[in-house]
């Protein structure tokens, strides 16, 4: 599936959209749909009654429902915004509520597992197009959502073989209308790319913060009091939703283990350079990696301003991928 599938002049609107899961991504999607007038009605579902009530109070959905099946009924687009580990169960719950011609997609950062767990519950005549908006913050819950979350961020669609081209084009146009740039990948390739660009960095952050917490010669108060910018950025990643990242690790383990192996090899090489005083090797590595940072800024995927453009006293939500 090429990027030609995002045909121009495709109507991005759906009459009825169901958002299953009303946390950061689901809430932000509701806000973006409202902003762009992309649906006549947004139906929402969350397991927690308090979350459903809060979503209605905020106003990024038009109705909430006590079950996922009720929310999905008569929807033209169903977006699954629950942790990857829960997708199969939710798909089974909504199977009989999906109307012919509807599109089902998701927002998970793992795609092979989504195809495996959701695909068997998609009835004939319903379009299944897995997706992944690469956007997020360390915050969670319905109050964390905001319409601009997807602006200028990539959304990767991974259509399964035989996917209806018109349905794919419409979903691509929908995400573009939500502010995203759209690209297409095969599920396996997506999982490899995200393993190195998102999953591994988060695991490193969790590990570094955990190591600091376990150190006996440095107190926790010292770690907090004297945190430098690098450690603070690691703590932001390490504050991400534990359920989501547990499920990512369990459902993308092959790609993650491959990238962890590569990282371990490179870390050993770095240790040798430091041990043997290889200044030239260290300088070459740091110069090469600095160029990657500049490329990310040039591509518009981050802010070149000091402190990543964040006001230290009134920090804006950081839109790094998760």
* Sequential DSSP letters for 174-190: HHHHTT-EEEE--HHHH
- Look at residue 296 in the predicted model and tell me its pLDDT: 66
CATH number at residue 26: 3.40.50.720
CATH number at residue 194: 1.10.3660.10
Query: Can you name the residues that pair with 196 across neighbouring β-strands?
Result: none
Residue 80's contacts (CB-CB under 8 Å, 6 or more residues apart) are 20, 21, 87, 90, 91, 104, 105, 106, 107, 108, 118
Confidence bin at 11 (pLDDT 50/70/90):
very high
More confident of the two residues 126 and 221: 126
Q: Are residues 221 and 236 in the same domain?
A: yes
Residue 211 lies in a domain: yes
Residue 115 lies in a domain: yes
C-beta of residue 5 within 8 angstroms of C-beta of residue 118: no
**Rounded to two decimals, what is the model's pTM?**
0.79
Residue 35 lies in a domain: yes
What mean pLDDT do residues 285-304 have?
73
- Look at residue 297 in the predicted model and tell me its pLDDT: 65
What is the span of the domain harbouring residue 22? 3-185
- Look at residue 252 in the predicted model and tell me its pLDDT: 87
Q: Are residues 155 and 284 in the same domain?
A: no
Domain count, the chain: 2
Residue whose entry in the numeric block shows the structure tokens 């719950």 = 93
DSSP string, 211-267: HHHH-SSS-HHHHHHT--HHHHHHHHHHTS-HHHHHHHHHHSHHHHHHHHHHHHHHH
Domain boundary among 185, 205, 232: 185
Q: Are residues 174 and 258 in the same domain?
A: no
Element (H, E) at 14: strand 14-20
316 pLDDT higher than 60: no
Query: Can you name the residues that pair with 65 across neighbouring β-strands?
Result: 45
Distance from C-alpha of 116 to C-alpha of 279, rounded to nearest angstrom: 48
Q: Are residues 245 and 114 in the same domain?
A: no
Sign of CA dihedral 270, 274, 280, 284: positive
3-state secondary structure of 273: helix
Q: Are residues 211 and 172 in the same domain?
A: no
C-beta of residue 191 within 8 angstroms of C-beta of residue 255: yes
270 pLDDT higher than 50: yes
- Look at residue 306 in the predicted model and tell me its pLDDT: 52
Q: CA 101: distance to chain centroid?
A: 26
Residue whose entry in the numeric block shows the structure tokens 């393993």 = 195
Q: Are residues 178 and 102 in the same domain?
A: yes
Q: Are residues 135 and 274 in the same domain?
A: no
189 pLDDT higher than 90: yes
Q: Are residues 44 and 147 in the same domain?
A: yes
Q: Are residues 260 and 117 in the same domain?
A: no
Residue 177 lies in a domain: yes
CA distances from 255 to 90, 169, 249, 258 (A): 25, 29, 9, 5
Residue 321 lies in a domain: no
- Look at residues 213, 255, 262 and name the one whose alpha carbon lies nearest to residue 234: 213
């Amino acid at each position: 599936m090429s990027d030609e599938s995002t045909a121009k002049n495709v109507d991005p609107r759906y009459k009825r959209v169901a958002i299953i899961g009303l946390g950061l991504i689901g809430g932000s999607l509701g806000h973006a749909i409202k902003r762009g007038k992309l649906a006549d009605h947004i139906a929402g579902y969350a397991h927690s009654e308090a979350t459903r009530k809060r979503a209605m109070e905020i106003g990024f959905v038009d109705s909430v429902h006590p079950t996922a099946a009720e929310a999905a009924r008569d929807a033209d687009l169903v977006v699954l915004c629950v942790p990857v580990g829960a997708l199969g169960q939710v798909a089974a719950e909504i199977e009989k509520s999906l109307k012919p011609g509807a599109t089902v997609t998701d927002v998970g950062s793992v795609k092979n597992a989504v195809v495996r767990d959701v695909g068997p519950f998609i009835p004939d005549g319903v379009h299944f197009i897995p997706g992944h908006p690469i956007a997020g913050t360390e915050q969670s819950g319905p109050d964390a959502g905001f319409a601009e979350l997807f602006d200028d961020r990539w959304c990767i669609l991974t259509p399964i073989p035989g996917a209806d081209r018109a349905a794919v084009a419409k979903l691509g146009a929908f995400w573009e209308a939500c502010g995203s740039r759209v690209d297409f990948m095969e599920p396996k390739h997506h999982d490899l790319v995200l393993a190195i660009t998102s999953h591994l960095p988060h695991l490193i952050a969790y590990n570094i913060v955990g190591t600091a917490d376990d150190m006996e010669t440095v107190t926790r108060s010292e770690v907090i009091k004297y945190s430098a910018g690098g450690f603070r950025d690691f703590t932001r990643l390490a504050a991400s939703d534990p359920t989501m990242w547990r499920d990512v690790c369990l459902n993308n383990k092959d790609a993650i283990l491959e990238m962890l192996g590569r990282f371990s090899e490179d870390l050993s090489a770095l240790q040798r350079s430091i041990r043997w005083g290889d200044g030239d090797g260290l300088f070459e590595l740091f110069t090469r990696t600095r160029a990657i940072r500049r490329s990310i800024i040039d591509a518009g995927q981050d802010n070149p301003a000091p402190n990543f453009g964040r006001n230290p006293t009134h920090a804006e939500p950081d839109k790094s991928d998760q």
